[in-house]
Amino acid sequence: MGDSNVTENHQFTTSSQQTEDGACLSAMLLNTSLVYHAVLNAAVDLNLFEIIAKGTTPGGSFMSSHEIAAKLETHHPDLPNRLDRILRLLASYSLLTSSTRTTHHGATEIVYGLSPVGNYFVPNGSRGCIASSTTYLFYPAMLQVLLNLKEALVDADIDLFKRAYGAVCHNWSYEKCLAILSNCHKALSPNGKVVVVEFILPEEPEPTEESQLVSSLDNLMFITDGGRERTQKQYENLCKLSGFSKFQVACRAFSCLGMTNNRRNNELTEVVQAIREMAAALLQQGNNGGNNGGHMETQ
């Protein structure tokens, strides 16, 4: 037989081996995932993370749902019980820590503290705050966009950036990225460079939190501004087509946040140091994990 145009297929496993019960449980959890996000949004709106942060100490004191309810502006008899249901869910996702204690009536109650993950939802926290992203995604206009995702996928004439309250995010279309980088290349001196701090998609889907985060952000870019997340190879292709002589991922943070390096002949040491300082500054300002960064240099 003649040569075939079909290359060898390579299967990538994106889920671990599960029992039938485990697979069913995972499916049900995914089917109710909207409930978790709604609870998280309510917790942010009610400032629950901030209340718990102010009323507890790391690894020390905790607060009960009654104590947390007392800090809210609105009060009614069933509020502590309703809050406890929200707090339980947040604790099950490791946004809160939990323990038990005995009341002066002899009853046992669950008490809550702030976890390292939950600390990222505290306004003006030492690690930065990402709570505003939760509020943004649950804004009525954004919810309407998410509900119309199917139409955006199947209708080639729909431009969600124009129809759905487009926002300037950290990604652009291929054409716009190429134009931006080309303009940067033209404006730079012979030994100039461009530092890019960006999310990087894995080459193949992976059953990891990093892959889940970047893939989720890729879909968010699609429905908000017409942009996308890209793989390392796609960024390298963009940089070379823009005229840069070299591309390199200089460093990473959180396994999926890195810095690409596109350069001429400069030494890499000072660039890596600058990138690390930039990453630290960005994180201090509240940028969450998952970004990648690097730099490009002119010829």
Just list the catalytic residues. 170
Collect all residues with Cβ–Cβ distance below 8 Å to 210 and sequence separation of at least 6: 202, 254, 255, 256, 290
Which amino acid does the sequence have at 204? E
Tokens standing for residue 295: 């730099």
261 CB-side CA count, 13 A: 19
The answer for residues whose C-beta is within 8 angstroms of residue 146's C-beta and 6 or more apart is: 137, 223
Q: What is the DSSP letter of 252?
A: E
What is the bridge-based pairing of β-strands 193-201 and 291-297?
A: antiparallel
* Distance in Å from the first CA to the final CA of the chain: 48
The continuous run of DSSP H or E covering 278 comes out as helix 268-284
- The residue with tokens 């509900």 is 147
Contact in structure between 44 and 134 (CB atoms under 8 Å):
yes
Residue among 119, 121, 127 nearest 56 (CA): 119
SS3 state at 6: coil
With beta carbons less than 8 A apart as the criterion, state whether 295 and 194 touch. Answer: yes
Q: Cα separation of 67 and 62, whole Å?
A: 10
